[in-house]
Amino acid sequence: MLHVENLHKSYQVGKTTYEVLKGVSLEVAEGEFVAVMGPSGSGKTTLLNCISCYIPTDSGSIRLGKLDLARLDEDALAKVRNQKLGFVFQDFLLLDGLTVRQNILLPAIISGSVSQQAETRADQLCEAFGISGIREKYPAEISGGEKQRTAVARALINHPLLILADEPTGNLDSKSTRAVIASFEQAKSALGATIFMVTHDSFAASFCDRVVILRDGVVWRVLAREGFAREDFQDQLLDAIREMGKE
C-alpha cells in the first residue's frame, strides 16, 4: 500500500543545512494500523508531511499503491490528497459553520461530488462511529472525542487508500483518547482502512499492529504487536523508549 524508500529531507537555515530525514525506508500493508514514535526532532512530522506531499523531499521515493507521488504535478497531488488520502489532525480542523454531517461530507463537497451515495456513506459512518445522534449539531456543541470521531469519519468519506493521522490524541483526555482509538480500530476492522499515525503516546501506539521508532532522522527500531496483549505491547514500547534514552 505505502512504500517509502531511502527518503531524505533537509532544511536550509541561513548557510546551515539541517538534515531531518536520513534515508528512511518503511512499508505499510493494506489494512494495517502503523504508528510512528520518536523524540522531538526525530523527524516524525516531517515524514508525515513528505508522505502527504505537502513538503518536497530531497531524494528517495514514496509510492501509494501504484502511484509514485514524487512524480506528480500539483494538480494531480491535490486530487490524490482529496481522493486517495484521508487526514486526521490533532486540532480536528472542523468547520464551525457546518454540522457534523456536513463536515464529514466536506471532501465530497470540495470534489463537487455530493451524490446520494456520498450522503448514504456519511450516514453509515455516523452510525459506525456512534455519532448519529449528533450529526445535525455544530462543532461548538460536541465534545473533543466526538469532534475527533467526526474527523475520522470525514477522513473515510472518499474511500481513501490511506489515512494519515498527526497526533490525533494529543489534546484529548484518556476517555476521549480511547474513543478515538476505538474509531481507528472500527475503521480498520469494519471498513478495511489503512492507517499511518504519528504519535508521542505509547498508550495510543499500543493498539497498532506495528510501531516504527525514529531517532535522529533514521528508523531506529520497528516493533510488532504480533498477538501480544495491548498492555504487554505498551510495556515493550516503553522499554524501547527507555533504552533509546540511555543510548
Contact 175, 203 (CB under 8 A): no
CA–CA dist 136, 141 (Å, integer): 10
C-alpha cell at 134: 449528533
Mean pLDDT of 104-122: 86
The pLDDT value given to residue 114: 81
The pLDDT value given to residue 176: 77
> Predicted confidence band at 91 (pLDDT cuts at 50, 70, 90)?
confident
Residue type at 1?
M
> Predicted confidence band at 89 (pLDDT cuts at 50, 70, 90)?
confident
Contact 45, 197 (CB under 8 A): no
Please determine, for residue 173, whether its predicted confidence score (pLDDT) is greater than 80.
no
The pTM (predicted TM-score) of the whole model is 0.88
The pLDDT value given to residue 243: 92
Cα 230–Cα 236–Cα 238 angle in degrees, nearest 5: 105
Contact 113, 157 (CB under 8 A): no
What is the DSSP secondary-structure string of the chain?
A: -EEEEEEEEEEEETTEEEEEEEEEEEEE-TT-EEEEE--TTSSHHHHHHHHTTSS--SEEEEEETTEEGGG--HHHHHHHHHHTEEEEETT----TTS-HHHHHTHHHHHTT---HHHHHHHHHHHHHTT-GGGTTS-GGGS-HHHHHHHHHHHHHTT--SEEEEESTTTT--HHHHHHHHHHHHHHHHHH---EEEE-S-HHHHTTSSEEEEEETTEEEEEEE-TT--HHHHHHHHHHHHHHHHH-
> Predicted confidence band at 73 (pLDDT cuts at 50, 70, 90)?
confident
The pLDDT value given to residue 79: 83
